[in-house]
Structure 1
Amino acid sequence: MSELLKVSQLHFKHSNKKNWLKKPEIFELGPIDLDVKRGETIAIIGENRAGKSLLAKLLVGALKADSGQITLNNQYAPQGVQSTQISHDVRMIFQFSGEAMNPGLPVGKILDEPLRLNTSHNEKERRQLVEDVLIKVGLLREHVYFYRHMLSDGQQQRVALARALILQPKVLVADEPFAALDPSVRSQTVNLILKLQSEMGLAFIFISHNLGIVRHLADRIIVMENGQIVESGKTETIFRWPQHETTKKLILSYQSLVPQQTLR
Protein backbone atom coordinates (compact mmCIF):
# COMPACT_ATOMS: atom_id res chain seq x y z
CA MET A 1 0.00 0.00 0.00
CA SER A 2 1.29 3.45 -0.93
CA GLU A 3 1.53 6.27 1.62
CA LEU A 4 -1.49 8.55 1.50
CA LEU A 5 -1.37 10.79 4.58
CA LYS A 6 1.71 11.88 6.49
CA VAL A 7 1.74 13.88 9.72
CA SER A 8 5.05 15.40 10.83
CA GLN A 9 5.82 17.04 14.18
CA LEU A 10 2.20 18.13 14.76
CA HIS A 11 1.96 20.14 17.97
CA PHE A 12 -0.96 21.77 19.76
CA LYS A 13 -1.23 23.42 23.18
CA HIS A 14 -4.69 23.88 24.68
CA SER A 15 -5.36 26.12 27.65
CA ASN A 16 -8.70 25.67 29.39
CA LYS A 17 -9.16 28.92 31.33
CA LYS A 18 -10.87 28.54 34.67
CA ASN A 19 -12.23 31.26 36.93
CA TRP A 20 -9.83 33.67 38.61
CA LEU A 21 -9.46 31.45 41.68
CA LYS A 22 -8.05 28.52 39.71
CA LYS A 23 -5.07 28.11 37.46
CA PRO A 24 -5.80 27.35 33.79
CA GLU A 25 -5.50 23.71 32.74
CA ILE A 26 -2.95 23.27 29.98
CA PHE A 27 -2.97 20.20 27.75
CA GLU A 28 -0.19 19.74 25.25
CA LEU A 29 -0.41 17.34 22.32
CA GLY A 30 2.59 16.22 20.34
CA PRO A 31 4.79 16.38 18.58
CA ILE A 32 2.91 13.72 16.61
CA ASP A 33 4.38 11.76 13.71
CA LEU A 34 2.32 9.21 11.81
CA ASP A 35 1.60 7.99 8.31
CA VAL A 36 -1.44 6.34 6.77
CA LYS A 37 -1.42 4.13 3.70
CA ARG A 38 -4.13 3.88 1.08
CA GLY A 39 -6.84 1.43 2.12
CA GLU A 40 -5.38 1.07 5.63
CA THR A 41 -7.32 1.11 8.89
CA ILE A 42 -5.68 2.63 11.95
CA ALA A 43 -7.19 2.54 15.43
CA ILE A 44 -6.26 5.13 18.05
CA ILE A 45 -6.64 3.85 21.60
CA GLY A 46 -5.81 5.16 25.06
CA GLU A 47 -7.35 6.14 28.35
CA ASN A 48 -9.57 9.20 28.82
CA ARG A 49 -7.87 12.57 28.24
CA ALA A 50 -5.05 10.96 26.28
CA GLY A 51 -5.57 13.39 23.38
CA LYS A 52 -7.27 11.01 20.95
CA SER A 53 -10.22 13.22 20.03
CA LEU A 54 -7.98 16.27 19.86
CA LEU A 55 -5.74 14.52 17.34
CA ALA A 56 -8.80 13.57 15.26
CA LYS A 57 -9.93 17.21 15.14
CA LEU A 58 -6.48 18.31 14.04
CA LEU A 59 -6.40 15.71 11.27
CA VAL A 60 -9.67 16.92 9.74
CA GLY A 61 -8.84 20.61 10.17
CA ALA A 62 -11.48 21.32 12.83
CA LEU A 63 -8.65 22.77 14.93
CA LYS A 64 -5.42 24.45 13.82
CA ALA A 65 -2.16 23.09 15.13
CA ASP A 66 0.46 25.42 16.54
CA SER A 67 3.13 23.80 14.38
CA GLY A 68 3.86 20.80 12.20
CA GLN A 69 2.52 19.73 8.87
CA ILE A 70 0.01 17.41 7.23
CA THR A 71 0.78 16.05 3.77
CA LEU A 72 -1.84 14.29 1.67
CA ASN A 73 -0.75 12.88 -1.68
CA ASN A 74 2.34 15.08 -1.34
CA GLN A 75 0.15 18.19 -0.93
CA TYR A 76 1.60 20.17 1.95
CA ALA A 77 -0.44 21.99 4.60
CA PRO A 78 1.77 23.89 7.12
CA GLN A 79 1.04 24.08 10.84
CA GLY A 80 -1.89 21.69 10.55
CA VAL A 81 -3.89 24.21 8.49
CA GLN A 82 -5.47 22.17 5.74
CA SER A 83 -6.02 23.46 2.23
CA THR A 84 -9.50 23.23 0.72
CA GLN A 85 -8.58 20.09 -1.20
CA ILE A 86 -7.14 18.38 1.85
CA SER A 87 -10.25 19.24 3.86
CA HIS A 88 -12.32 17.59 1.12
CA ASP A 89 -10.12 14.51 1.11
CA VAL A 90 -10.15 14.01 4.90
CA ARG A 91 -13.66 13.82 6.34
CA MET A 92 -15.05 13.05 9.79
CA ILE A 93 -17.83 10.81 11.11
CA PHE A 94 -19.24 11.86 14.48
CA GLN A 95 -20.12 9.55 17.37
CA PHE A 96 -23.71 10.71 17.81
CA SER A 97 -24.75 10.93 14.18
CA GLY A 98 -28.30 12.01 14.97
CA GLU A 99 -27.13 15.07 16.89
CA ALA A 100 -25.09 16.13 13.86
CA MET A 101 -28.22 16.12 11.64
CA ASN A 102 -30.43 19.20 11.39
CA PRO A 103 -33.91 17.91 12.41
CA GLY A 104 -35.54 20.54 10.19
CA LEU A 105 -33.92 19.33 6.96
CA PRO A 106 -34.59 16.15 4.99
CA VAL A 107 -31.71 13.82 4.22
CA GLY A 108 -31.52 15.05 0.63
CA LYS A 109 -30.89 18.63 1.74
CA ILE A 110 -28.32 17.54 4.33
CA LEU A 111 -26.34 15.63 1.70
CA ASP A 112 -26.79 18.31 -0.95
CA GLU A 113 -25.24 21.07 1.19
CA PRO A 114 -21.56 20.00 0.97
CA LEU A 115 -21.94 19.52 -2.79
CA ARG A 116 -23.58 22.92 -3.22
CA LEU A 117 -20.89 24.67 -1.17
CA ASN A 118 -17.84 22.84 -2.50
CA THR A 119 -18.51 21.82 -6.10
CA SER A 120 -19.72 23.35 -9.37
CA HIS A 121 -22.33 20.64 -10.02
CA ASN A 122 -25.80 21.79 -11.04
CA GLU A 123 -28.91 20.75 -9.14
CA LYS A 124 -29.61 17.70 -11.30
CA GLU A 125 -26.04 16.44 -11.00
CA ARG A 126 -26.06 16.97 -7.25
CA ARG A 127 -29.31 15.05 -6.88
CA GLN A 128 -27.81 12.12 -8.78
CA LEU A 129 -24.72 12.11 -6.56
CA VAL A 130 -26.90 12.23 -3.43
CA GLU A 131 -28.96 9.25 -4.60
CA ASP A 132 -25.81 7.34 -5.59
CA VAL A 133 -24.18 7.76 -2.19
CA LEU A 134 -27.38 6.70 -0.40
CA ILE A 135 -27.37 3.47 -2.39
CA LYS A 136 -23.67 3.02 -1.64
CA VAL A 137 -24.26 3.09 2.13
CA GLY A 138 -27.20 0.71 1.94
CA LEU A 139 -30.13 3.15 1.99
CA LEU A 140 -32.81 3.87 -0.61
CA ARG A 141 -33.16 6.80 -3.01
CA GLU A 142 -36.44 7.60 -1.26
CA HIS A 143 -34.54 8.40 1.92
CA VAL A 144 -33.84 11.85 0.47
CA TYR A 145 -37.30 12.80 1.75
CA PHE A 146 -36.80 11.43 5.28
CA TYR A 147 -36.19 13.58 8.35
CA ARG A 148 -34.05 12.61 11.32
CA HIS A 149 -36.96 11.46 13.48
CA MET A 150 -38.03 9.04 10.73
CA LEU A 151 -34.70 7.18 10.78
CA SER A 152 -33.41 4.44 13.07
CA ASP A 153 -30.05 4.83 14.82
CA GLY A 154 -28.44 2.62 12.20
CA GLN A 155 -29.95 4.63 9.35
CA GLN A 156 -28.78 7.88 10.94
CA GLN A 157 -25.26 6.45 11.10
CA ARG A 158 -25.49 5.54 7.41
CA VAL A 159 -26.58 9.09 6.58
CA ALA A 160 -23.56 10.37 8.54
CA LEU A 161 -21.35 8.03 6.54
CA ALA A 162 -22.99 9.18 3.29
CA ARG A 163 -22.32 12.83 4.19
CA ALA A 164 -18.67 11.99 4.88
CA LEU A 165 -18.40 10.19 1.52
CA ILE A 166 -20.30 12.70 -0.65
CA LEU A 167 -17.14 14.65 -1.59
CA GLN A 168 -15.29 11.40 -2.39
CA PRO A 169 -12.62 11.67 0.32
CA LYS A 170 -9.52 9.54 0.58
CA VAL A 171 -9.44 9.38 4.39
CA LEU A 172 -12.26 8.96 6.93
CA VAL A 173 -11.67 9.94 10.56
CA ALA A 174 -14.16 8.76 13.18
CA ASP A 175 -14.36 9.42 16.93
CA GLU A 176 -16.08 6.45 18.62
CA PRO A 177 -18.33 5.80 15.60
CA PHE A 178 -19.73 2.54 17.02
CA ALA A 179 -20.20 3.41 20.70
CA ALA A 180 -23.81 4.62 20.43
CA LEU A 181 -25.00 1.65 18.33
CA ASP A 182 -26.51 -1.59 19.55
CA PRO A 183 -24.46 -4.75 18.74
CA SER A 184 -26.37 -5.80 15.61
CA VAL A 185 -26.26 -2.32 14.06
CA ARG A 186 -22.62 -1.99 15.11
CA SER A 187 -21.77 -5.19 13.25
CA GLN A 188 -23.58 -3.99 10.13
CA THR A 189 -21.73 -0.66 10.24
CA VAL A 190 -18.33 -2.33 10.62
CA ASN A 191 -19.04 -4.61 7.67
CA LEU A 192 -20.26 -1.66 5.59
CA ILE A 193 -17.06 0.28 6.25
CA LEU A 194 -14.96 -2.74 5.29
CA LYS A 195 -16.95 -3.06 2.06
CA LEU A 196 -16.55 0.63 1.20
CA GLN A 197 -12.83 0.45 1.92
CA SER A 198 -12.48 -2.41 -0.51
CA GLU A 199 -14.50 -0.64 -3.20
CA MET A 200 -13.10 2.88 -2.79
CA GLY A 201 -9.60 2.35 -1.41
CA LEU A 202 -10.43 4.49 1.61
CA ALA A 203 -8.11 4.89 4.57
CA PHE A 204 -9.94 4.79 7.90
CA ILE A 205 -8.69 6.27 11.18
CA PHE A 206 -10.93 5.65 14.16
CA ILE A 207 -10.91 6.13 17.92
CA SER A 208 -12.42 3.38 20.01
CA HIS A 209 -12.50 2.00 23.53
CA ASN A 210 -13.92 -1.28 22.17
CA LEU A 211 -10.81 -3.37 21.65
CA GLY A 212 -12.85 -6.21 20.18
CA ILE A 213 -13.77 -3.97 17.24
CA VAL A 214 -10.22 -2.64 17.12
CA ARG A 215 -8.80 -6.16 16.81
CA HIS A 216 -11.32 -7.07 14.12
CA LEU A 217 -11.05 -3.91 12.05
CA ALA A 218 -7.63 -2.29 12.44
CA ASP A 219 -4.47 -3.03 10.48
CA ARG A 220 -2.41 -0.94 12.89
CA ILE A 221 -2.88 0.52 16.36
CA ILE A 222 -1.66 3.81 17.82
CA VAL A 223 -1.62 4.06 21.62
CA MET A 224 -1.78 7.53 23.18
CA GLU A 225 -1.09 8.83 26.67
CA ASN A 226 -0.93 12.46 27.83
CA GLY A 227 -0.91 13.83 24.29
CA GLN A 228 1.87 11.54 23.10
CA ILE A 229 2.03 8.41 20.95
CA VAL A 230 3.61 5.91 23.33
CA GLU A 231 3.35 2.81 21.15
CA SER A 232 2.31 1.83 17.64
CA GLY A 233 2.42 -1.28 15.53
CA LYS A 234 0.50 -3.98 13.71
CA THR A 235 -2.68 -4.99 15.49
CA GLU A 236 -1.78 -8.57 16.34
CA THR A 237 1.69 -7.53 17.48
CA ILE A 238 0.20 -4.98 19.87
CA PHE A 239 -2.32 -7.48 21.23
CA ARG A 240 0.18 -10.31 21.66
CA TRP A 241 3.29 -8.39 22.74
CA PRO A 242 2.36 -4.96 24.18
CA GLN A 243 5.42 -3.02 25.33
CA HIS A 244 4.27 0.18 27.05
CA GLU A 245 2.57 0.02 30.46
CA THR A 246 -0.52 1.84 29.15
CA THR A 247 -0.86 -0.65 26.30
CA LYS A 248 -0.44 -3.60 28.67
CA LYS A 249 -3.15 -2.19 30.94
CA LEU A 250 -5.60 -1.73 28.06
CA ILE A 251 -4.95 -5.19 26.60
CA LEU A 252 -5.19 -6.88 30.00
CA SER A 253 -8.51 -5.16 30.65
CA TYR A 254 -9.80 -6.38 27.28
CA GLN A 255 -8.58 -9.94 27.83
CA SER A 256 -10.29 -10.13 31.20
CA LEU A 257 -13.63 -9.65 29.43
CA VAL A 258 -13.05 -12.14 26.61
CA PRO A 259 -13.37 -15.96 26.94
CA GLN A 260 -9.88 -17.41 26.84
CA GLN A 261 -10.55 -19.75 23.92
CA THR A 262 -11.11 -16.76 21.60
CA LEU A 263 -7.63 -15.44 22.36
CA ARG A 264 -5.73 -18.41 20.96
Structure 2
Amino acid sequence: MTDIMQVNGLTFFHSDTKRWLKKPEIFQLGPIDLSVKRGETIAIIGENRAGKSLLAKLLVGAIPASKGEIELNNHKYLAKYNKQDTQQKRTHDIRMILQHSSESMNPAVPVGKILDEPLRLNTELSEAERKPLIEEMLTKVGLLREHYYFYRHMLSDGQQQRVALARAIMLKPKVLVADEPFAALDPTIRSQTVNLILQLQQELGLAFIFISHNLGIVRHIADRIIVMENGNIVEEGKTETIFRWPQHATTKKLVLAYQSLVPQHTIR
Protein backbone atom coordinates (compact mmCIF):
# COMPACT_ATOMS: atom_id res chain seq x y z
CA MET A 1 0.00 0.00 0.00
CA THR A 2 1.20 3.49 -0.83
CA ASP A 3 0.89 6.56 1.36
CA ILE A 4 -2.23 8.62 0.59
CA MET A 5 -1.59 11.19 3.34
CA GLN A 6 1.58 12.46 5.00
CA VAL A 7 1.47 14.81 8.00
CA ASN A 8 4.62 16.72 8.90
CA GLY A 9 5.12 18.87 11.99
CA LEU A 10 1.39 19.59 12.46
CA THR A 11 1.12 21.88 15.50
CA PHE A 12 -1.71 23.70 17.22
CA PHE A 13 -1.15 26.19 20.03
CA HIS A 14 -3.92 27.62 22.18
CA SER A 15 -3.46 30.13 24.99
CA ASP A 16 -6.49 31.47 26.82
CA THR A 17 -5.19 34.30 29.00
CA LYS A 18 -8.53 36.09 29.43
CA ARG A 19 -9.88 33.95 32.26
CA TRP A 20 -11.15 36.01 35.20
CA LEU A 21 -9.58 34.88 38.49
CA LYS A 22 -8.31 31.69 36.85
CA LYS A 23 -4.95 30.52 35.68
CA PRO A 24 -4.27 30.91 31.95
CA GLU A 25 -5.18 27.79 29.99
CA ILE A 26 -2.40 26.74 27.64
CA PHE A 27 -2.58 23.71 25.38
CA GLN A 28 -0.27 22.62 22.60
CA LEU A 29 -0.87 19.77 20.22
CA GLY A 30 2.08 18.37 18.39
CA PRO A 31 4.22 18.55 16.47
CA ILE A 32 2.50 15.55 14.90
CA ASP A 33 4.08 13.38 12.20
CA LEU A 34 2.12 10.51 10.73
CA SER A 35 1.41 8.72 7.46
CA VAL A 36 -1.73 7.02 6.20
CA LYS A 37 -1.72 4.35 3.52
CA ARG A 38 -4.41 3.83 0.90
CA GLY A 39 -7.12 1.53 2.28
CA GLU A 40 -5.60 1.54 5.79
CA THR A 41 -7.61 1.82 9.02
CA ILE A 42 -5.97 3.80 11.82
CA ALA A 43 -7.44 4.15 15.30
CA ILE A 44 -6.53 7.08 17.53
CA ILE A 45 -6.96 6.30 21.22
CA GLY A 46 -6.14 8.05 24.48
CA GLU A 47 -7.68 9.43 27.63
CA ASN A 48 -9.97 12.48 27.73
CA ARG A 49 -8.37 15.79 26.70
CA ALA A 50 -5.48 13.99 25.00
CA GLY A 51 -6.09 15.97 21.81
CA LYS A 52 -7.70 13.22 19.71
CA SER A 53 -10.73 15.20 18.48
CA LEU A 54 -8.61 18.30 17.94
CA LEU A 55 -6.22 16.32 15.74
CA ALA A 56 -9.18 15.04 13.69
CA LYS A 57 -10.42 18.59 13.10
CA LEU A 58 -6.94 19.75 12.11
CA LEU A 59 -6.61 16.93 9.61
CA VAL A 60 -9.87 17.80 7.82
CA GLY A 61 -9.19 21.54 7.96
CA ALA A 62 -12.10 22.37 10.28
CA ILE A 63 -9.57 24.23 12.45
CA PRO A 64 -6.39 25.80 11.00
CA ALA A 65 -3.17 24.59 12.60
CA SER A 66 -0.49 26.94 13.89
CA LYS A 67 2.14 25.37 11.64
CA GLY A 68 2.95 22.22 9.76
CA GLU A 69 2.06 20.62 6.45
CA ILE A 70 -0.32 17.95 5.19
CA GLU A 71 0.29 16.19 1.90
CA LEU A 72 -2.90 14.51 0.74
CA ASN A 73 -3.31 12.68 -2.57
CA ASN A 74 -0.17 14.47 -3.91
CA HIS A 75 -1.47 17.93 -2.91
CA LYS A 76 0.31 19.89 -0.17
CA TYR A 77 -1.64 22.01 2.31
CA LEU A 78 0.10 24.42 4.65
CA ALA A 79 -1.25 24.78 8.18
CA LYS A 80 -2.53 28.30 7.52
CA TYR A 81 -4.31 27.88 4.20
CA ASN A 82 -5.50 31.01 2.44
CA LYS A 83 -6.71 30.04 -1.00
CA GLN A 84 -10.32 28.90 -1.27
CA ASP A 85 -9.61 26.58 -4.21
CA THR A 86 -6.91 24.79 -2.20
CA GLN A 87 -9.29 24.21 0.69
CA GLN A 88 -12.00 23.06 -1.72
CA LYS A 89 -9.67 20.37 -3.10
CA ARG A 90 -8.94 19.30 0.45
CA THR A 91 -12.70 19.03 1.05
CA HIS A 92 -12.90 16.54 -1.80
CA ASP A 93 -10.04 14.39 -0.55
CA ILE A 94 -10.81 14.14 3.17
CA ARG A 95 -14.20 14.11 4.89
CA MET A 96 -15.42 13.74 8.47
CA ILE A 97 -18.22 11.93 10.31
CA LEU A 98 -19.30 13.36 13.67
CA GLN A 99 -20.32 11.33 16.71
CA HIS A 100 -23.95 12.48 16.90
CA SER A 101 -25.26 12.17 13.36
CA SER A 102 -28.71 13.51 14.28
CA GLU A 103 -27.26 16.82 15.42
CA SER A 104 -25.66 17.36 12.00
CA MET A 105 -28.98 16.81 10.20
CA ASN A 106 -31.36 19.75 9.77
CA PRO A 107 -34.81 18.41 10.80
CA ALA A 108 -36.50 20.69 8.26
CA VAL A 109 -34.48 19.39 5.29
CA PRO A 110 -35.10 16.00 3.62
CA VAL A 111 -32.30 13.48 3.23
CA GLY A 112 -31.99 14.13 -0.51
CA LYS A 113 -31.26 17.83 0.01
CA ILE A 114 -28.78 17.03 2.78
CA LEU A 115 -26.83 14.76 0.44
CA ASP A 116 -27.22 17.22 -2.41
CA GLU A 117 -25.39 20.00 -0.55
CA PRO A 118 -21.80 18.72 -0.91
CA LEU A 119 -22.38 18.05 -4.60
CA ARG A 120 -24.03 21.41 -5.19
CA LEU A 121 -21.27 23.35 -3.42
CA ASN A 122 -18.27 21.40 -4.70
CA THR A 123 -19.18 20.29 -8.23
CA GLU A 124 -20.64 21.79 -11.38
CA LEU A 125 -23.21 19.01 -11.83
CA SER A 126 -26.79 20.01 -12.58
CA GLU A 127 -29.67 19.04 -10.30
CA ALA A 128 -30.76 16.43 -12.83
CA GLU A 129 -27.27 14.91 -12.75
CA ARG A 130 -26.97 15.01 -8.96
CA LYS A 131 -30.21 13.22 -8.08
CA PRO A 132 -29.33 9.77 -9.51
CA LEU A 133 -25.91 9.98 -7.82
CA ILE A 134 -27.62 10.62 -4.48
CA GLU A 135 -30.03 7.72 -4.97
CA GLU A 136 -27.14 5.44 -5.86
CA MET A 137 -25.29 6.50 -2.73
CA LEU A 138 -28.36 5.78 -0.58
CA THR A 139 -28.43 2.20 -1.82
CA LYS A 140 -24.66 1.89 -1.37
CA VAL A 141 -25.01 2.62 2.38
CA GLY A 142 -27.92 0.21 2.79
CA LEU A 143 -30.84 2.63 2.51
CA LEU A 144 -33.64 2.83 -0.07
CA ARG A 145 -33.94 5.30 -2.92
CA GLU A 146 -37.20 6.42 -1.30
CA HIS A 147 -35.23 7.69 1.71
CA TYR A 148 -34.38 10.65 -0.53
CA TYR A 149 -37.68 12.20 0.62
CA PHE A 150 -37.45 11.27 4.33
CA TYR A 151 -36.85 13.74 7.18
CA ARG A 152 -34.72 13.18 10.28
CA HIS A 153 -37.63 12.24 12.57
CA MET A 154 -38.62 9.47 10.13
CA LEU A 155 -35.25 7.72 10.47
CA SER A 156 -33.86 5.41 13.16
CA ASP A 157 -30.50 6.13 14.80
CA GLY A 158 -28.83 3.58 12.54
CA GLN A 159 -30.41 5.10 9.43
CA GLN A 160 -29.29 8.59 10.48
CA GLN A 161 -25.73 7.29 10.83
CA ARG A 162 -25.97 5.81 7.33
CA VAL A 163 -27.08 9.20 5.99
CA ALA A 164 -24.07 10.80 7.71
CA LEU A 165 -21.81 8.19 6.13
CA ALA A 166 -23.39 8.79 2.71
CA ARG A 167 -22.82 12.53 3.00
CA ALA A 168 -19.20 11.97 4.03
CA ILE A 169 -18.38 9.82 0.99
CA MET A 170 -20.56 11.73 -1.49
CA LEU A 171 -17.51 13.46 -2.98
CA LYS A 172 -15.52 10.19 -3.15
CA PRO A 173 -12.80 11.22 -0.68
CA LYS A 174 -9.52 9.39 -0.24
CA VAL A 175 -9.56 9.63 3.58
CA LEU A 176 -12.51 9.40 5.98
CA VAL A 177 -12.09 10.74 9.53
CA ALA A 178 -14.64 9.74 12.19
CA ASP A 179 -14.84 11.01 15.76
CA GLU A 180 -16.48 8.32 17.94
CA PRO A 181 -18.82 7.26 15.11
CA PHE A 182 -20.17 4.25 17.00
CA ALA A 183 -20.58 5.63 20.52
CA ALA A 184 -24.24 6.69 20.22
CA LEU A 185 -25.40 3.43 18.61
CA ASP A 186 -26.77 0.33 20.34
CA PRO A 187 -24.64 -2.83 19.96
CA THR A 188 -26.64 -4.35 17.08
CA ILE A 189 -26.68 -1.16 14.99
CA ARG A 190 -23.03 -0.57 15.89
CA SER A 191 -22.05 -3.97 14.49
CA GLN A 192 -23.98 -3.32 11.27
CA THR A 193 -22.34 0.10 10.87
CA VAL A 194 -18.84 -1.31 11.42
CA ASN A 195 -19.43 -4.00 8.79
CA LEU A 196 -20.82 -1.40 6.37
CA ILE A 197 -17.76 0.82 6.76
CA LEU A 198 -15.44 -2.16 6.21
CA GLN A 199 -17.39 -3.07 3.06
CA LEU A 200 -17.30 0.48 1.69
CA GLN A 201 -13.63 0.75 2.52
CA GLN A 202 -12.89 -2.32 0.44
CA GLU A 203 -15.09 -1.15 -2.46
CA LEU A 204 -13.84 2.44 -2.56
CA GLY A 205 -10.26 2.03 -1.34
CA LEU A 206 -10.86 4.50 1.50
CA ALA A 207 -8.34 5.17 4.23
CA PHE A 208 -10.20 5.36 7.55
CA ILE A 209 -9.01 7.29 10.61
CA PHE A 210 -11.26 6.93 13.61
CA ILE A 211 -11.25 8.01 17.23
CA SER A 212 -12.72 5.57 19.70
CA HIS A 213 -12.79 4.63 23.36
CA ASN A 214 -14.15 1.19 22.43
CA LEU A 215 -11.00 -0.91 22.21
CA GLY A 216 -13.04 -3.96 21.20
CA ILE A 217 -13.97 -2.24 17.93
CA VAL A 218 -10.44 -0.87 17.61
CA ARG A 219 -8.97 -4.35 17.85
CA HIS A 220 -11.49 -5.67 15.34
CA ILE A 221 -11.07 -3.16 12.52
CA ALA A 222 -7.84 -1.15 12.97
CA ASP A 223 -4.65 -2.02 11.09
CA ARG A 224 -2.64 0.41 13.19
CA ILE A 225 -3.12 2.30 16.47
CA ILE A 226 -1.94 5.76 17.50
CA VAL A 227 -1.92 6.54 21.22
CA MET A 228 -2.12 10.18 22.32
CA GLU A 229 -1.43 11.93 25.62
CA ASN A 230 -1.36 15.68 26.31
CA GLY A 231 -1.44 16.57 22.62
CA ASN A 232 1.37 14.24 21.56
CA ILE A 233 1.69 10.80 20.02
CA VAL A 234 3.29 8.64 22.71
CA GLU A 235 3.08 5.28 20.97
CA GLU A 236 2.02 3.82 17.64
CA GLY A 237 2.19 0.44 15.98
CA LYS A 238 0.29 -2.46 14.50
CA THR A 239 -2.90 -3.28 16.36
CA GLU A 240 -1.94 -6.69 17.72
CA THR A 241 1.51 -5.45 18.71
CA ILE A 242 -0.06 -2.63 20.75
CA PHE A 243 -2.51 -5.00 22.46
CA ARG A 244 0.05 -7.72 23.19
CA TRP A 245 3.10 -5.63 24.06
CA PRO A 246 2.09 -2.06 25.05
CA GLN A 247 5.12 0.04 25.93
CA HIS A 248 3.96 3.46 27.17
CA ALA A 249 2.24 3.83 30.55
CA THR A 250 -0.89 5.32 28.96
CA THR A 251 -1.15 2.46 26.47
CA LYS A 252 -0.72 -0.11 29.24
CA LYS A 253 -3.47 1.58 31.26
CA LEU A 254 -5.91 1.59 28.33
CA VAL A 255 -5.19 -2.01 27.34
CA LEU A 256 -5.45 -3.21 30.95
CA ALA A 257 -8.83 -1.47 31.31
CA TYR A 258 -10.01 -3.20 28.12
CA GLN A 259 -8.77 -6.61 29.25
CA SER A 260 -10.56 -6.25 32.60
CA LEU A 261 -13.88 -6.06 30.72
CA VAL A 262 -13.21 -9.02 28.41
CA PRO A 263 -13.53 -12.68 29.51
CA GLN A 264 -10.03 -14.03 29.94
CA HIS A 265 -10.45 -16.94 27.51
CA THR A 266 -10.94 -14.47 24.63
CA ILE A 267 -7.66 -12.63 25.27
CA ARG A 268 -4.75 -13.94 23.24
Q: TM-score range by the shorter chain?
A: over 0.9
Structure 2 contact 52–228 (Cα < 8 Å) conserved: yes
Please state how far the C-alpha of 1:222 moved relative to its aligned partner.
Answer: 0.1
How far apart, CA to CA, are the structure 2 residues paired with 1:256 and 1:153?
Answer: 29
Name the Cα RMSD after superposition.
Answer: 1.0
Aligned residue for 1:91, secondary structure, equals: strand
2:107 is aligned to: 103
1:120 is aligned to: 124
Aligned ranges 1:6-85 → 2 under 5 Å? 6-16=6-16, 19-79=19-79, 81=81, 83-85=87-89
2:155 to 147, 151, 156: 151
Q: State the one-letter code of the partner of 1:54.
A: L
2:191 to 170, 187, 194: 187
How far apart, CA to CA, are the structure 1 residues paired with 2:19 and 2:25?
Answer: 11
Q: State the one-letter code of the partner of 2:114.
A: I
2:179 to 175, 178, 181: 175
How far apart, CA to CA, are the structure 2 residues paired with 1:240 and 1:146?
Answer: 46
2:206 is aligned to: 202
How far apart, CA to CA, are the structure 2 residues paired with 1:121 and 1:16?
Answer: 44
Structure 2 contact 50–231 (Cα < 8 Å) conserved: yes
Structure 1 contact 9–32 (Cα < 8 Å) conserved: yes
Aligned length: 264
1:256 is aligned to: 260
How far apart, CA to CA, are the structure 1 residues paired with 2:15 and 2:183?
Answer: 28
What are the ranges of 5 or more consecutive residues in structure 2 without an aligned counterpart?
A: none
How far apart, CA to CA, are the structure 1 residues paired with 2:205 and 2:173?
Answer: 10
* Deviation per residue, 1:129-159 (Å, 9 max, x gap): 1101101100000001100000000000000
1:218 to 218, 222, 227: 222
Structure 2 contact 73–174 (Cα < 8 Å) conserved: no
Please state how far the C-alpha of 1:168 moved relative to its aligned partner.
Answer: 0.7
How far apart, CA to CA, are the structure 1 residues paired with 2:266 and 2:20?
Answer: 53
Please state how far the C-alpha of 1:23 moved relative to its aligned partner.
Answer: 2.5
* Deviation per residue, 1:82-121 (Å, 9 max, x gap): 6321221100000000010000000001000111111000
How far apart, CA to CA, are the structure 1 residues paired with 2:123 and 2:91?
Answer: 13
Aligned residue for 1:29, secondary structure, equals: strand
How far apart, CA to CA, are the structure 1 residues paired with 2:99 and 2:79?
Answer: 27
Please state how far the C-alpha of 1:80 moved relative to its aligned partner.
Answer: 5.7
Q: State the one-letter code of the partner of 2:12.
A: F
Aligned residue for 1:256, secondary structure, equals: helix
Please state how far the C-alpha of 1:18 moved relative to its aligned partner.
Answer: 5.0
1:133 to 134, 137, 140: 137
Aligned residue for 1:229, secondary structure, equals: strand
Structure 2 contact 225–239 (Cα < 8 Å) conserved: yes
Please state how far the C-alpha of 1:26 moved relative to its aligned partner.
Answer: 1.1
How far apart, CA to CA, are the structure 2 residues paired with 1:51 and 1:129?
Answer: 36
Structure 1 contact 12–28 (Cα < 8 Å) conserved: yes
2:2 is aligned to: 2
Q: Which moved more, 1:125-134 or 1:11-20?
A: 11-20
How far apart, CA to CA, are the structure 2 residues paired with 1:47 and 1:157?
Answer: 25
Change (3 A) 1:80 1:36: farther
